[in-house]
Amino acid sequence: MKLSNTEEQLMQILWKQEKAFMKDLLESYDDPKPATTTVATLLKRMINKGFVNYTQMGNSRQYFPLVKKSDYFSKHVNGLIKNFFNNSASQFASFFTSETDLTKVELEELKTLIDLEIKKK
């Protein structure tokens, strides 16, 4: 399941804070801050999608993510590779290294990471 852009923005806040009450979430937004009802609606949708849950503490709810950021990101990168690069990680890597403004140092760092992964296998 996928999050909308506004849900993703809220999820980024939750991943960063790990656990948060509504007031903490609202404080994390830049001005102009969304209405409490807007954030509550987003949280309800994210709970229904299985991304977020909460612990009831008196009259307040402490929200926390159920999905790890790395898992969410990995799923999207794999979907991108499948949908735009014919399920070929090599085509994705070729596009990524040639069409982005990576410096020589960044490319060398990528090469080192790839070499380490090769050694693991």
Say yes or no: 73 and 45 in one domain: no
Residue matched to tokens 């690069």: 85
Q: Identify the CATH number of the domain in which residue 55 sits.
A: 1.10.10.10
Tokens matching residue 18? 């790990």
When divided into structural domains, the chain yields a total of 2
Domain C-terminal end among 28, 50, 65:
65
Give the Cα separation of 61 and 82 in Å (integer): 38
| Share of the chain residues as helix, strand and coil, in percent rounded to the nearest 5 | 65, 10, 25
Say yes or no: 49 and 80 in one domain: no
Walk along the chain (121 residues) and give the pLDDT tens digit of each residue. Answer: 789 999 999 999 999 999 999 999 999 999 999 999 999 999 999 999 999 999 999 999 999 999 999 999 999 899 889 999 999 989 998 898 888 889 999 999 999 999 999 999 8
Which are the contacts of 7, defined by CB distance < 8 A and separation ≥ 6? 42, 45, 46, 49, 51
Task: Calculate the alpha carbon distances from 28 to 8, 10, 14, 72, 117 in Å.
Answer: 14, 9, 10, 21, 37
The CA-based angle 16-21-23, given to 5 degrees, is 100
